[in-house]
């Protein structure tokens, strides 16, 4: 049993060629008999930042990849849109042998999760949206916070990261300097061009025209102290969507980082529910 448990707590990282794009992919094995969870990370975030959450999943297989230009995935030949990444993700899943998955997205990745659920509805069984919004049409965070997010400097300058993390992430980051150091140590981040491509990808993008049409059972999670994406955005999304429920987490923007075990438990309980 101990050997099987350790196997389920390990993230296997490999390079996979999908069409003309190489992707650095992380897979945390799970117990058979349920769809894996495809996870889209936040802007500039390499897959290691999601590893504590992935390893806290007791039953669920989880799949994540560094977005092209981020972490270990090389830059794409051209800029892209969310629809491009959704199509790339579907091709990756085909290569891995998965016809249906559950999908989760964090912050910037929440937009990708919505796009995937819309664009590849038959492949998406359930949807989890964490600390995210409908895109360009949203209730914005503080301009001072958003300005600090406009460059990848926090991924490249540890001193800058320590100074700004409490302001931009809120929650547990406000009171725990060691948490900031630990988070910074796990980041390899995006190149300047890779980060720019991520910003451009979401420029003008919004799910509001079709968000109401998503039929997947959806769990929306929001931090009560989120300076980047105020929780009112989650409340708006929950009202618009056909089959969504909202849960507020008493933390900041990165509650999946600061509370991986609790967040994993909430999500796995939702994923295990029978579909009506």
Tell me which residues are annotated as active site: 107
Strand ordering across the sheet containing 37-40: 11-18, 21-28, 62-65, 37-40, 101-106, 124-130, 218-223, 244-249
Helices (H), 149-242: 153-156, 158-169, 177-185, 192-202, 232-240
What's the angle, vertex CA 158, arms to CA 152 and CA 159, rounded to 5?
A: 110
CA-nearest of 7, 5, 25 to 15 is: 25
Cα–Cα dist 19/62, whole Å: 22
Are 149 and 108 in contact by the 8 Å Cβ rule? The answer is no
Would you tell me the crossing angle of helices 108-119 and 192-202 to the nearest 10 degrees?
50
């Amino acid at each position: 049993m101990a050997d099987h448990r350790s196997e389920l707590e390990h993230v296997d990282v490999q390079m996979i060629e999908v069409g003309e794009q190489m992707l650095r992919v992380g897979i945390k094995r799970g117990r058979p008999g349920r769809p894996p969870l495809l996870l889209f990370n936040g802007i500039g975030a390499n897959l290691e930042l999601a590893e504590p959450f992935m390893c806290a999943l007791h039953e669920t297989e989880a799949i994540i990849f560094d977005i092209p230009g981020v972490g270990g995935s090389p830059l794409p030949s051209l800029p892209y849109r969310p629809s491009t990444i959704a199509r790339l993700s579907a091709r990756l899943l085909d290569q891995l042998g998965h016809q249906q998955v559950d999908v989760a997205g964090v912050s910037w990745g929440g937009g990708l999760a919505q796009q995937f659920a819309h664009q590849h509805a038959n492949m998406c069984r359930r949807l989890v949206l964490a600390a995210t919004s409908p895109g360009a049409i949203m209730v914005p965070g503080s301009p001072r916070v958003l300005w600090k997010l406009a460059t990848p400097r926090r991924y490249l300058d540890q001193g800058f990261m320590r100074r700004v993390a409490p302001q931009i992430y809120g929650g547990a980051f406000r009171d725990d300097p060691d948490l900031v150091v630990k988070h910074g140590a796990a980041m390899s981040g995006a190149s300047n061009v890779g980060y720019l491509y991520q910003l451009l990808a979401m420029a003008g993008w919004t799910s509001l025209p079709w968000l109401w049409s998503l039929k997947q059972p959806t769990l929306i999670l929001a931090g009560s102290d989120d300076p980047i994406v105020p929780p009112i955005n989650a409340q708006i999304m929950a009202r618009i969507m056909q089959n969504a429920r909202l849960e507020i987490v008493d933390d900041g923007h990165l509650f999946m980082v600061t509370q991986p075990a609790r967040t994993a438990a909430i999500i796995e309980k939702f994923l295990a529910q029978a579909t009506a």
